Amino acid sequence: MHFPDRHEHALAERFGTLTGDEVDKFADLAMRSGPSGAPELPTHPHHMVVRRVALLDEGGDHVYVVTEPVAVTTCGQLTPLRLSAVGHLRPGHTAAERPHPATERADRTDPR
């Protein structure tokens, strides 16, 4: 889980507007393998690796995930990129395009 800084609009646009069905969102990004093999973006130093404890997916446009921190990395001050700064971005998929039944997505999630 990466926490983008207020100046990282390009990162928010890449991961918020593109769909993994059509493009590799990690292509052309500096990346390394973190704990448990999770991808880390070393140029975006504020991140946390978590273990999923529980998941609730009732078919709406949100999924509730309870996690536990495994590793946390930060470097200096973070001024977070707020939703209000990227509200103009359009998602790669609409809520209506999610998998049906909704639990298909939950079944594909890594159980860690």
pLDDT tens-digit profile of 36-47? 788 888 888 898
In angstroms, the CA 40 to CA 34 distance is: 6
User: Which DSSP category does 62 fall into?
Assistant: -
46-81 pLDDT, tens digit each: 989 899 999 988 777 678 899 999 888 888 899 999
Closest by alpha carbon to 63, among 104, 14, 18, 22? 104
Q: What is the per-residue pLDDT for 16? A: 86
In angstroms, the CA 73 to CA 46 distance is: 6
Q: Domain map of the chain by residue range?
A: 9-55+69-92
Q: Give the predicted TM-score (pTM) of the model.
A: 0.67
Q: Is 104 helix (H, G, I), strand (E, B) or coil?
A: helix
On the question of pLDDT at 21 being above 60, the answer is yes
